[in-house]
């Protein structure tokens, strides 16, 4: 057998070389990719080595073949043997066993045995196929890599990781590209592989671009704040938290109005809190009556209005909510968005609730979210300032004024963290 190695830029070329040198009967024993190194590295093309073999022994003529005993010939010899003296009775089962074995052997011998050379060829084909699949895999990976970073010129490895991490957090590709390019511009070339510097720059970039609501200006009259949003996002709980903070922490006089006469138990939910917190509360049954309720609280510093949760798909009900907002002459309309909502749904909610002209966004249930990219995207798309982060069920503790750096850490590190 002659064995030889061939090196070429592709498996196909290496195989062609082998066939030319060793002949058409040659088979591939092994293949391997040899990454380009040293001076050739800039050319960036890997080489492929195949090990080929050909059997040079002339085929044996039947007469030269060493004598072998096939199972059939053993059996024939056994059957045609001169009759032996009858075996003693206790040997009968042993002879019968031999006969059975012989019959089994015969059946096996009649099955077509695979030709060794054929199976070798098959094995070599599989090896070659595997190498070609590997080859294709690496080309596909290079392609997907090029596609993934198509928005960038030369991007250092550390910045590629930043970009991938942002995508993993479901940050919209457009915003992830902008963020990554901003960080690239900010970081000095010598610091590009310094992970601490990179992370700090990423966090600062996210934080500085995050729309934060300015503190409410001291109002001459009562500040009317309405909370709106889809069902169950935490509007009533958030109103209770905010009302308690205004009263207990800021020493303000607060009035509560509930317009949620739709859901069973909704009024009781807020009333119970109002009684405990000693905050006056009014229940309003028609949009047109909201103005009168606001007037009643006109001497209070802040008036909070709780509304019924509405699906973004319920156009008619959203129009009804609009009447409440208008009747209240609201200074602030906070759209409450749950952090558990996905990107397309958030878009739809913001789109449909736009009729209420929200002045602020409140991000609720941040303690339950696994990723924060969708919230970041919605803040960037709408540029509506975010007023509060609601971070749990406890009234009034689980709420904080929104903060860019807190959000940046949650977004980039992919986990909820207390401020």
Ligand X SMILES: Nc1nc2c(ncn2[C@@H]2O[C@H](COP(=O)(O)OP(=O)(O)OP(=O)(O)O)[C@@H](O)[C@H]2O)c(=O)[nH]1
**Closest distance of CB 364 from Mg ion, Å:** 11
CB of 19 within 8 A of CB of 26? yes
Nearer to ligand X, 263 or 415 (CB): 263
Nearer to Mg ion, 14 or 284 (CB): 284
Q: Which stretch binds Mg ion (CB under 5 A): 138-146, 235-243, 349-357, 398-406?
A: 235-243
**Closest distance of CB 270 from Mg ion, Å:** 8
As a whole number of angstroms, the distance between CA 240 and CA 268 comes to 13
Residue 214: count other Cβ atoms within 10 Å of its Cβ: 7
**Closest distance of CB 273 from ligand X, Å:** 10
**Closest distance of CB 345 from Mg ion, Å:** 19
Window 102 to 121, contacts with ligand X (CB under 6 A): none
Distance of CA 220 to the CA centre of its chain: 49
Residue 365 within binding range of ligand X, rule CB under 6 A:
yes
Residue 406 within binding range of ligand X, rule CB under 6 A:
no
Q: Which stretch binds ligand X (CB under 6 A): 41-49, 271-279, 343-351, 363-371?
A: 363-371
Q: Which stretch binds Mg ion (CB under 5 A): 22-30, 175-183, 229-237, 394-402?
A: 229-237
Nearer to ligand X, 26 or 339 (CB): 339
Counted residue by residue, the chain has a size of: 419
Exactly one of 128, 158, 201, 364 binds ligand X (CB under 6 A); that residue is: 364
**Closest distance of CB 346 from ligand X, Å:** 15
As a whole number of angstroms, the distance between CA 209 and CA 407 comes to 11
**CA distance to 120, 148, 181, 228, 375, per residue, from 176 (Å):** 52, 12, 9, 30, 14
As a whole number of angstroms, the distance between CA 337 and CA 33 comes to 53
CB of 372 within 8 A of CB of 344? no
Q: Which residues pair with 224 in a beta bridge?
A: 303
Residue 236 within binding range of Mg ion, rule CB under 5 A:
yes
DSSP 220: S
**Closest distance of CB 211 from Mg ion, Å:** 26
**Closest distance of CB 397 from ligand X, Å:** 11
Q: x/- string (CB under 6 A) for ligand X, residues 199-238?
A: --------------------------------xxxxxxx-
Nearer to Mg ion, 201 or 236 (CB): 236
Total residues binding ligand X (CB under 6 A): 20
DSSP 359: S
Nearer to ligand X, 293 or 366 (CB): 366
Q: Which residues pair with 306 in a beta bridge?
A: 227, 258
As a whole number of angstroms, the distance between CA 225 and CA 293 comes to 13
Residue 309 within binding range of ligand X, rule CB under 6 A:
yes
As a whole number of angstroms, the distance between CA 210 and CA 386 comes to 8
For residue 366, give the nearest of 348, 393, 343, 347 by alpha carbon.
393
- Biggest CA–CA distance in the chain, Å, is 129
**Closest distance of CB 385 from Mg ion, Å:** 23
Sign of the alpha-carbon torsion through 365, 366, 369, 375? positive
Which of the listed partners (Mg ion, ligand X, none) does 343 bind, with a CB threshold of 5 to 8 Å by partner kind?
none
**In this structure, what token pair is assigned to residue 89?**
């009775």
Residue 338 within binding range of Mg ion, rule CB under 5 A:
no
Q: Write out the DSSP string of 312-342.
A: TT-HHHHHHHHHHHHHHT-SEEEEEEETTS-
Residue 395: count other Cβ atoms within 10 Å of its Cβ: 20
What is the radius of gyration, based on Cα positions, of the chain? 40
**Closest distance of CB 392 from ligand X, Å:** 5
Which of the listed partners (Mg ion, ligand X, none) does 392 bind, with a CB threshold of 5 to 8 Å by partner kind?
ligand X
Nearer to ligand X, 127 or 390 (CB): 390
Which of the listed partners (Mg ion, ligand X, none) does 200 bind, with a CB threshold of 5 to 8 Å by partner kind?
none
Residue 170 within binding range of ligand X, rule CB under 6 A:
no
326 phi and psi angles, rounded to 5 deg: -70, -45
Which of the listed partners (Mg ion, ligand X, none) does 233 bind, with a CB threshold of 5 to 8 Å by partner kind?
ligand X
CB of 364 within 8 A of CB of 330? no
Which of the listed partners (ligand X, Mg ion, none) does 237 bind, with a CB threshold of 5 to 8 Å by partner kind?
ligand X
**In this structure, what token pair is assigned to residue 220?**
């001459």
Total residues binding Mg ion (CB under 5 A): 2
Residue 237 within binding range of Mg ion, rule CB under 5 A:
no
Residues near ligand X (CB under 6 A) are 231-237, 260, 263, 266, 309, 364-365, 367-368, 390-393, 398
Residues near Mg ion (CB under 5 A) are 235-236
């Amino acid at each position: 057998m002659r064995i030889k190695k061939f090196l070429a830029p592709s498996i196909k070329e290496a195989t062609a070389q082998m066939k030319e040198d060793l002949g058409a009967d040659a088979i591939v024993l092994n293949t391997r990719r040899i990454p380009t190194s040293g001076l050739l590295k800039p050319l960036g093309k890997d080489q492929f080595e195949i090990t080929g073999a050909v059997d040079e022994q002339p085929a044996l003529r039947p007469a030269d073949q060493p004598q072998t005993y096939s199972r059939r010939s053993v059996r024939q010899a056994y059957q045609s043997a001169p009759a032996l003296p009858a075996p003693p009775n206790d040997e009968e089962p042993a002879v019968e066993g031999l006969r059975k074995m012989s019959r089994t052997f015969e059946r096996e011998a009649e099955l077509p045995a695979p030709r060794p050379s054929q199976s070798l060829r098959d094995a070599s084909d599989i090896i070659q196929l595997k190498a070609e699949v590997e080859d294709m895999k690496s080309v596909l990976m290079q392609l997907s890599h090029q596609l993934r970073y198509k928005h960038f010129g030369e991007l250092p490895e550390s910045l590629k990781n930043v970009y991938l991490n942002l995508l993993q957090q479901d940050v919209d590709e457009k915003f992830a590209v902008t963020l990554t390019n901003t960080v690239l511009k900010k970081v000095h070339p010598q610091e590009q592989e310094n992970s601490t510097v990179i992370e700090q720059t990423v966090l600062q970039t996210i934080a500085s671009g995050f729309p934060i609501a300015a503190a409410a200006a001291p109002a001459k009259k009562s500040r009317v704040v309405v909370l709106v949003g889809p069902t169950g996002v935490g509007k009533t709980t958030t109103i209770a938290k905010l009302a308690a903070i205004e009263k207990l922490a800021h020493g303000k006089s607060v009035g509560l109005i509930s317009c949620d006469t739709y859901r069973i138990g909704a009024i009781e939910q807020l009333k119970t809190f109002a009684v405990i917190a000693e905050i006056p509360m009014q229940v309003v049954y028609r949009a047109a009556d909201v103005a009168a309720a606001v007037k009643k609280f006109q001497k209070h510093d802040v008036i909070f209005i709780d509304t019924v949760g509405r699906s973004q798909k319920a156009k008619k009900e959203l129009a009804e909510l609009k009447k409440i907002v208008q009747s209240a002459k609201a200074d602030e309309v906070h759209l409450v968005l749950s952090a558990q909502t996905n990107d397309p749904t958030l878009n739809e909610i913001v789109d449909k609730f736009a009729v209420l002209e929200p002045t602020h966004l409140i991000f609720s249930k941040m303690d339950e979210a696994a990723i924060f990219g969708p919230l970041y995207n919605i803040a960037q798309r709408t540029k509506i300032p975010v007023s509060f982060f609601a971070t749990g069920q406890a009234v009034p503790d689980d709420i904080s004024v929104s903060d860019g750096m807190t959000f940046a850490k949650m977004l980039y590190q992919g986990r909820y963290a207390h401020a």
